Amino acid sequence: MLTGNGLIIGFVIALILLFILIIKFKWDAFIALLVIAIGIGLVSAIPAREVPAVIAEGFGSTLTGVGILIGLGIIFGQFLAASGAIEKIANSMLRAFGVKNSPYALAATSTTVAIPVFFDAAFIILNKLIQSLSLKTKISLSTFIAILAIGLIVSHSLIIPTPGPLVVADQMGTDIGVFFLYGLLVAIPATLVGGVLYGKFMGKRIPNNGRLDDVELNANEQIDTSHRQEIPTWLAYAMLALPIVLILSNTLMNNVIFLGNEEAALPTFFGVIGDKNVALLISVITAMFILPKYMKESSNTVFKDAFEASGMVILITGAGGAFGRVVQETGLGDLLISLMQGFNMPALLLGFVFAQVLRASLGSATVALVTTSSILGPMAVELGVSPVLLGLAICAGGIGLSLPNDSGFWVVSKFGRLSVSETLRVWSLGGFVAGLTALVFVHLLSAISGFLPGI
């Protein structure tokens, strides 16, 4: 039974074995994740008889959050692609910003969308768009994946009202509005460096190599409109925006307009239709009625293709959640907390490293932010640092080093058509670069804090 430092070493070995099984021996990620989860559970303090139940619980709880979302997101994306909506949006973006500026347009889009919409939902909704942009611009798909994914996770970790930064602001005792503004300010350079610049760097090293062949075939079919109507540009944007607007309506009604009166009829209504699963279901139903006249193939064909694509993604995502749950149950998080509290390092760096280690080990940015802020929040005054800046440093630590114990890792890998090693380079390291950039910017704010209101 591994405890103490042995448990930390065991976790590192488990990750190495996971990568070897997938990359070297070409095991399917679903099987490899389950095998490693069982292995680390059996050598930990978890009773052996309880390990299968912990794995099943982690699998189920993960799919409770994203299972329906993945299925509906793939169906919705298939309808948008089959109707030519994605092509319309891609063409209009290129006309508006130009080929050279399309990465910056996507960065602005991802940063904005992630404020009201959770990471998984936003990435799935916009996934078809980045494939089409890659085809149109001849820019590597990995560049656009990095920009989209990093932009989304930066906003998810730094900008209120997503749960992680919201809890951090509360634990730090800071004004929500002040934390929102500085979080947005820090998010911009983090997305530009970790998303756009690093994405361009990786794009030169990970070419498409045929991964867009199927997309190109579909795009060519969509261009041929001799047997169907051509979808208007405004309708293409309206369909893409529909689930985002519905989700945003819930955030606006329940967190701004009717804050403290959520049981009233109107916020309850928006709370239902603005739920991420219900919003995508409404969007799919709307697409079923509006888009078929713009499609060359039948709706049944679209559904069939979507069902075939969603099965393995759902299984792998659930297995990633199972692995993460086993790691949490071993007590590794508490062990790391106790270990790091004895380190003598600057407060901002401590907050960043604390959150970063928990992010990598537990596989959840939100859990890392909540855990770190609950420990360091009461110590902010004692540490002699601004609660706002310490909170932002903690949020920066929750951005990067997403590993296979994070379900988001597999969403990016499978929807982005990246191998495990490519996902590590584009997504995991890209997030780490973005997080470091955010930390540097927090230190810059600290240097001029005397001139900044609210800090």
pLDDT in tens, the chain (455 residues): 888 888 889 888 988 898 788 778 888 888 988 999 999 999 998 999 999 999 999 899 878 877 888 788 888 888 988 888 877 887 787 788 887 888 998 998 888 777 656 687 788 878 888 888 888 888 999 999 999 999 999 988 998 767 788 778 888 888 877 888 899 999 999 999 999 999 999 998 888 876 665 544 344 444 444 556 899 999 988 998 898 888 878 877 876 677 667 678 888 898 899 888 898 899 999 999 999 999 988 999 989 988 887 787 788 778 877 887 888 788 876 776 677 667 677 889 988 998 898 888 877 787 788 778 877 777 777 777 889 999 999 999 999 889 888 888 988 998 888 999 999 999 999 999 999 999 999 999 999 888 888 77
Please tell me the distance from the alpha carbon of residue 80 to that of residue 72, in angstroms, as a whole number: 12
Q: Give the pLDDT score at 116.
A: 57
Give the angle 193-196-199 at the CA atoms, nearest 5°: 105
The pTM of the full predicted model, rounded to 2 decimals, is 0.74
384 in a domain, yes or no?
no
Residues of 186-217 as b/e, b for ≥16 C-beta within 10 angstroms? bbbbbbbbbbbbbbbebbeebebeebbeebee
Longest dimension (CA), the chain: 71
406 in a domain, yes or no?
no
276 in a domain, yes or no?
yes
Q: Give the pLDDT score at 255.
A: 66
Under 8 Å between Cβ of 114 and 159 = yes
**Residues spanned by the domain of 116:** 6-326
Q: Give the pLDDT score at 222.
A: 44
376 in a domain, yes or no?
no
Handedness of CA 129, 309, 65, 434 (dihedral sign): negative
393 in a domain, yes or no?
no
313 in a domain, yes or no?
yes
Q: Give the pLDDT score at 332.
A: 75
Please tell me the distance from the alpha carbon of residue 249 to that of residue 350, in angstroms, as a whole number: 37
216 in a domain, yes or no?
yes
42 in a domain, yes or no?
yes
Number of domains in the chain: 1
